[in-house]
Amino acid sequence: MSARLSHLNDKGEARMVDVSAKDVTSRVAVAEGFVAMAAETLDLILAGSAEKGDVLATARIAGIMAAKRTSELIPLCHPLPLTQVTVDFEPRRDPVGIRVQALTKVDGKTGVEMEALTAVSIACLTIYDMCKAVDRAMSFSGIRLLEKSGGRSGDFKAEMYTAGR
């Protein structure tokens, strides 16, 4: 099987993929990531005691806003009329941190994987920004696509997720 990058033309030049002939289908993508942190930082976040305010509420809004602006951030991405974006958090004690998960939906001609991944990435960055004064050692890992459905390429489901494990 010969794989070809869809964002390159025959000369190897970058291009935006022409999706005009594709059918509109319902598409869903789910992505995840993990923010590792000190136990005291997690306690601060969960208690709502961060100096900058409600960390998770702010990170949720940032992730949703980022998904909506993905085409402005990632070259060659199509702007999409998203029908749903959710960003959820799962605090963990072993290892210590917060698992971030985003779900994106659209009825369109191209997928929403980049929107889900962008939502997770920006939510993780927002957690860091809001807590860096108390924990500059926070780190991110496992940002990846968990699943996607819809479109010509079919469905995808990742192996058991490992972010934060």
The first and second tokens of residue 37, run together, are 């942190």
Alpha helix stretches (DSSP H) within 55-147: 55-68, 70-73, 113-131
Which residues lie below 8 Å from residue 97, measured CB to CB, with a gap of 6+?
Answer: 34, 35, 36, 37, 42, 91, 138, 164
Q: How many CB atoms lie within 10 A of CB 123?
A: 29
Catalytic site residues? 129
- How far apart, in whole angstroms, are the C-alpha atoms of residue 130 and residue 80? 29
